[in-house]
Amino acid sequence: MSMVELDTFLDDVRAVARDVAAPAAVAVDAEARFPHEAIDALRECGALGAFVPASHGGAGLPLEVIGQACFELARGCSAVGMVFAMHQIQVASLVGFGVGHAFFDAYLRDLVSEQRLIASVTSEVGVGGDLRRTIAPLSQVDGAMHLEKQAPTVSYGVHADDLLITARRSAEADEADQVLELARSDQSTLEQTSSWDPLGMRGTCSPGFKLIAEIAPDQVVPVAFAEIAPRSMVPCSHLFWGHVWLGIANEAFERAAGFVRGQARSRPGWTPPTAQPLSQLASTLQAMRATLAAATAEYQAMLLEGASTDAATTFAYAIRINSVKVTMSERAAEVCFGALRITGMAGYKNDTPFSIGRQLRDSLSAALMIGNERILATNATLLLVQKST
Amino acid sequence: MQPMIEEIRNVLRDHSGLGSAVDGLADHADLYSAGMTSHASVNVMLGLENQFDIEFPDHLLKRSSFESMAAIRGAIESLAVDLPAT
């Protein structure tokens, strides 16, 4: 692993996106297989530890740079961008709430030196997609913590080195009283319980699993998940995912723009009718960029040294960050669909330089990842008492 | 205004989704751990605003303000202190 530096990190990531992720993207999609080559290339340049602070051997790069990396990777291959984003969401939770505790201090050092990939097991059969409830309890047996959980969706679970899992604190605790714990792959088994042949984001390899894990008590993050979710996991998810969706939309836009330029070159002096819908997509993309940049800067300010994520626990912030998710996910699919309308048959076919099918299918997952209907329902409830946003 | 814990408990009984389980809760018991959802907490806030004829300002609209009956009493009392100044 080479040393990660701020000034070369994004160049390295762009090179991985262009030279490794993009060339494999069609095969990753067609075969619904994990993008090993790109993740290995990211390991080579130390990218998996980019958000770990320097005190723990990492690069300690700012959140906005991690977001930019998600964007760059997703331009080449949506699945690579999403795997990288999901990993960094888990890293952020451990950096925010594990540092200062012996197990997690040592773990973060290992993550950097071994470039370990973390997957998350937050979904569960029976809670209806609610991140903030878990049925499966941690149970203590002879000093070890035991967990069995039925998860309907675990992205790249079998390809990860470690799993970050939500659980009910104990068999006596309420379903909302959750904890987060880390299990190394040699401490857990994943038995696949459903198939994986989805419309898009096929390289994330996200079928259902029955998880069984056996860990030591100090592998439980010492802060309640009720604190971790609003302060770290929810904002990081929406911001990093948002960068992935912007990357997908950007790629679709660039293909459509190339198509329109080709038409224009064929008859100089004539503005092709596709140019105007392209200009509409450009303004949508610009609005997406502005939304994401403002939201990233707001959260980055909370993470700065000496600052606090207390502001992230307010209703006002929950409404804003939820709105970012809804905006980015809906607009990304709009841009991809618009790009298809512009490119016509060239975009509809899967084997032209202007193919939009993969980006369109991938973008449609955005509205489903924590369903926008659920998010809007949450905001609707919060707005019953919230006075300003 | 000195809101009584029992008045808060009455609102919780009606709106927290915990029902009569609130009768056995201590002042500082964590309502979320007891099973109050975020959605129900909004209903509790609306119920409290109605019961005490107040409006919670945005800076109090966060999880920690409503995590226990004692926290709720603190939030309401802070309003009573703030009111003359506004």
A63-76 helix and A6-16 helix, angle to the nearest 10 degrees: 20
Residue B86 lies in a domain: no
**Structural domain range at position B12:** 4-81
Contact across the interface for A315 and B58, Cβ inside 8 Å: yes
List, in sequence order, the alpha helices (H) in A98-136.
102-114
Residue B80, pLDDT score: 75
Residue B74 lies in a domain: yes
Chain A residue closest in CA terms to B55: A385
Distances, alpha carbon A358 to alpha carbons A139, A248, A308, A369, in Å: 43, 9, 40, 18
Phi and psi angles of residue A210, each rounded to the nearest 5 degrees, phi first? -95, 120
Residue A3, pLDDT score: 61
In this predicted model, what pLDDT tens digit does every residue of A278-304 receive, in sequence order?
999 999 999 999 999 999 999 999 998
In this predicted model, what pLDDT tens digit does every residue of A91-136 receive, in sequence order?
999 999 999 999 999 999 999 999 999 999 999 999 988 898 999 9
Contact across the interface for A177 and B42, Cβ inside 8 Å: no
Partner residue facing A385 (CB), from B34, B61, B63: B61
CB pairs under 8 A between A and B: 51
- Residue B35: how many other CB atoms lie within 10 Å: 18
Residue B63 lies in a domain: yes
**Which residues on B lie below 8 Å from A384 (Cβ)?**
42, 46
Is the CA virtual torsion A367, A380, B79, B75 positive or negative? negative
- Nearest chain A Cα distance for residue B47, angstroms: 11
Residue B1, pLDDT score: 40
How far is B11 from B34, CA to CA, in rounded Å?
16
Contact across the interface for A316 and B39, Cβ inside 8 Å: no
Distances, alpha carbon A340 to alpha carbons A35, A85, A326, A360, B25, in Å: 25, 26, 22, 8, 58
Q: What is the DSSP letter of A219?
A: G
How far is B60 from B52, CA to CA, in rounded Å?
15
Q: For chain A, which ranges sit under pLDDT 50?
A: 1-2
Residue A383, pLDDT score: 94
CATH classification of the domain holding B28: 1.10.1200.10
ipTM summary value: 0.81
Contact across the interface for A386 and B64, Cβ inside 8 Å: no
Chain A residue closest in CA terms to B44: A385
Contacts for A216 with CB less than 8 Å, ≥ 6 apart = A103, A143, A144, A145
pTM of the predicted protein model: 0.93
Residue A306, pLDDT score: 67
Partner residue facing A313 (CB), from B33, B45, B62: B62
E strand or H helix at B50, and its extent?
helix B38-52
Structural domain total, chain B: 1
Contact across the interface for B32 and A177, Cβ inside 8 Å: yes
Q: For chain B, which ranges sit under pLDDT 50?
A: 1-2, 84-86
Partner residue facing B33 (CB), from A173, A230, A310: A173
How far is A139 from A243, CA to CA, in rounded Å?
38
